[in-house]
């Protein structure tokens, strides 16, 4: 019976894909070119590429018209490309980004291959093996086998705010509910891996056991913000994913860095290089070349990011408005991970207040920040400094904190010494440093910025952090945050979200 149902689903998907490609052909014959006001005319090479399967804007507009007639249920069966066009037609997404359309072609390719090979990939959670990870590992001692997936995954990389996460989430949301799939932030994924390794300490190869557990739970892994900065992570990734891929795992990930640039300049990088080769072998690498940062296309600032020195009293006043005039915030202690406790200077009604030093000048990491965001939906951070060579470690922690808060959809209320751009002015990549004016007889070392921090990883990460701070301070983000807390319609919560700006 299950096999009959699966055959019917595949037939429906095939019929709708045929209808979609037929629509594309009709569009090429009858539709004039239409360009969005937000997007310049694309290079002529895009128009030529359309002949070989990459949709051009003519196709995109025709699809939007057709997609407006497609129900949500039908779109969910057709895949990410039709759903993308439906959202454009409904006004939920900005129209006209050829780079996103090209990336969606790859996501649609992956979706179609997964649907066609669902049985071979063992995606159905109900027909998959129910052996526990340790039992699976013991069984493999007697019956060693490798079952690489017949379908290659996808590695999306590109600049900040270009829509990588949105596109991956759109793809993930179209996948059948009965598939073994998981969507998780890379930081959170690695924390989970290290936690499992602790549990299996003493086993001959704990990484193989952990990989077995992960692939039993989810054969399709969607990892957001793939970024390797920790030497401990770098040293285990090759063996971990070697086992995962051998178990049939399929990886879909997003990153700001191309595979060859991952962990660039890191300690013992030579031991990390085999992982890059494995990644490129098991995934199609796709760059989103858009120059648009969609996070910065939000509305004007709403007043959750304040600039000034010695203004703690003002931030505390705003914090009090959030928790309620008649509520008293008190010191708290919360559990963040594996029994570890974190002291909160002031907390009440899901809001916590911290001086910057308490969160970013102490030996804390992503695990602590994730735990904090599970206990508090809003963090008030006082005294964010200008970053440079003298506080590079604190800058790394601040970047991680913003990443975790953004992923957790938490609200940030902060008092900083400068705008997001000014905070990172002294953080540059090696390439940026080389482009600076060379020292001459008239420009001595004395005139150099001694606090300039040349750091490739931090230099790349700062653009993402600036972009996210900008979006987190927008009207749209605050409205969504408020609606998420109350469960009400966003329009009903607009006035409440703006209360912080008064």
Q: Given a cut of 50, is residue 308 above it in pLDDT? A: yes
Mean pLDDT across the stretch 27-39? 32
Number of other residues whose CB lies within 10 A of the CB of residue 8: 10
By the 8 A CB rule, do 332 and 342 touch?
no
Give the pLDDT band of residue 112 (cuts 50, 70, 90).
Answer: very high
Q: Where are the domains of the chain?
A: 1-96, 125-291, 298-501
Q: What is the pLDDT of residue 113?
A: 95
Q: Given a cut of 80, is residue 130 above it in pLDDT? A: no
Q: How far apart are CA 179 and CA 199, in angstroms?
A: 27
Q: Given a cut of 80, is residue 59 above it in pLDDT? A: no
For 250, list phi and psi in degrees, rounded to 5: -120, 130
Q: How far apart are CA 385 and CA 394, in angstroms?
A: 9
Distance (Å) of CA 178 to CA 16, 118, 174, 349, 477: 21, 11, 12, 37, 31
CATH, domain range 125-291: 3.40.50.300
Work out the percent of the chain whose per-residue pLDDT is above 90. Answer: 39
| pLDDT tens digit sequence for 434-456 | 777 554 444 445 445 678 998 88
Helix (H/G/I), strand (E/B), else coil: 298: coil
Q: How far apart are CA 27 and CA 89, in angstroms?
A: 16
Q: Given a cut of 90, is residue 378 above it in pLDDT? A: yes
- Beta pairing class for 453-454 and 427-428: parallel
Q: Given a cut of 70, is residue 27 above it in pLDDT? A: no
Q: How far apart are CA 272 and CA 231, in angstroms?
A: 9
Spatial neighbors of 291 by CB under 8 A, at least 6 apart, are 159
Among 153, 129, 281, residue whose Cα is nearest residue 212 = 129
Q: What is the pLDDT of residue 316?
A: 92
Q: Which of 39-48, 49-58, 89-98, 325-334 has the highest mean pLDDT?
A: 325-334
Low-confidence winner among 39-48, 143-152, 184-193, 463-472 (lowest mean pLDDT): 39-48
User: What are the DSSP E strand ranges found in 356-495?
Assistant: 378-384, 411-416, 427-428, 453-454
Q: How far apart are CA 209 and CA 231, in angstroms?
A: 21
The sheet with strand 305-307 has its strands ordered as 305-307, 411-416, 378-384, 351-355, 340-348, 330-337
Helix (H/G/I), strand (E/B), else coil: 160: coil
Q: What is the pLDDT of residue 230?
A: 83
Average per-residue pLDDT for the chain: 77
Put simply, whether the predicted model's pTM sits higher than 0.95 gets the answer no
In Å, the largest CA–CA distance within the chain is 83
Mean pLDDT across the stretch 472-485? 81
The sheet with strand 250-255 has its strands ordered as 181-185, 220-224, 250-255, 153-158, 283-288
């Amino acid at each position: 019976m299950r096999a009959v149902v699966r055959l019917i689903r595949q037939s429906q998907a095939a019929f709708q894909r045929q209808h979609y490609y037929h629509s594309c052909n009709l569009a090429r014959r009858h539709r004039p070119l239409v360009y969005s006001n937000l997007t310049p005319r694309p290079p002529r090479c895009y128009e030529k590429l359309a002949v070989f399967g990459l949709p051009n804007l003519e196709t995109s507009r025709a699809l939007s018209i057709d997609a407006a007639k497609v129900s949500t249920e039908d779109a969910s069966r057709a895949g990410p490309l039709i759903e993308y066009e439906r959202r454009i037609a409904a006004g939920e997404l900005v129209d006209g980004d050829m780079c996103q359309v090209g990336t969606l072609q790859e996501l649609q390719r992956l979706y179609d291959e997964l649907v066609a090979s669902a049985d071979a990939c063992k995606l159905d959670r109900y027909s998959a093996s129910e052996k526990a990870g340790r039992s699976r590992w013991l069984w493999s001692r007697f019956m060693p086998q490798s079952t690489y997936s017949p379908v290659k995954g996808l590695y999306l990389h590109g600049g900040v705010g270009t829509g990588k996460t949105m596109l991956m989430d759109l793809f993930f949301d179209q996948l059948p509910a009965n598939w073994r799939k998981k969507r998780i932030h890379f930081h959170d994924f690695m924390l989970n891996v290290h936690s499992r390794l602790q549990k299996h300490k003493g086993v001959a190869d704990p990484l193989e056991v952990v990989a077995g557990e992960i692939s039993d739970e989810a054969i399709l892994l969607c990892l957001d913000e793939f970024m390797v900065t920790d030497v401990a992570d770098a040293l285990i990734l090759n063996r971990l994913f070697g086992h995962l891929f051998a178990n049939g795992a399929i990886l879909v990930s997003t990153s700001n860095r191309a595979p060859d640039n991952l962990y660039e300049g890191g300690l013992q990088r030579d031991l990390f290089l085999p992982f890059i080769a494995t990644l490129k072998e098991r995934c199609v690498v796709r760059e989103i070349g858009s120059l648009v940062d969609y996070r910065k296309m939000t509305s004007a600032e709403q007043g959750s990011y304040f600039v000034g020195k010695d203004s703690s009293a003002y931030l505390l006043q705003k914090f009090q408005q959030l928790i309620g005039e008649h509520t008293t915030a008190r010191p708290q202690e919360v559990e963040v991970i594996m029994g570890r406790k974190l002291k909160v200077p002031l907390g009440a009604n899901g809001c916590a207040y911290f001086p910057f030093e308490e969160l970013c000048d102490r030996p804390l990491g992503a695990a602590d920040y994730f735990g904090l965001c599970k206990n508090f939906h809003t963090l008030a951070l006082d005294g964010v400094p200008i970053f440079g060579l003298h506080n590079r470690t604190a800058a790394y922690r601040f970047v991680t904190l913003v990443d975790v808060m953004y992923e957790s959809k938490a609200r940030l209320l902060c008092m900083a010494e400068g705008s997001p751009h000014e905070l990172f002015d002294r953080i540059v990549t090696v390439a940026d440093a080389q482009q600076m004016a060379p020292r001459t007889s008239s420009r001595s070392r004395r005139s150099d910025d001694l606090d300039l921090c040349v750091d490739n990883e931090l230099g790349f990460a700062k653009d993402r952090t600036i972009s996210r701070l900008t979006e987190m301070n927008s009207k749209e983000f605050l409205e969504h945050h408020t609606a998420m807390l109350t469960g009400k319609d966003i329009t009903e919560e607009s006035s409440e979200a703006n209360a912080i700006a008064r």
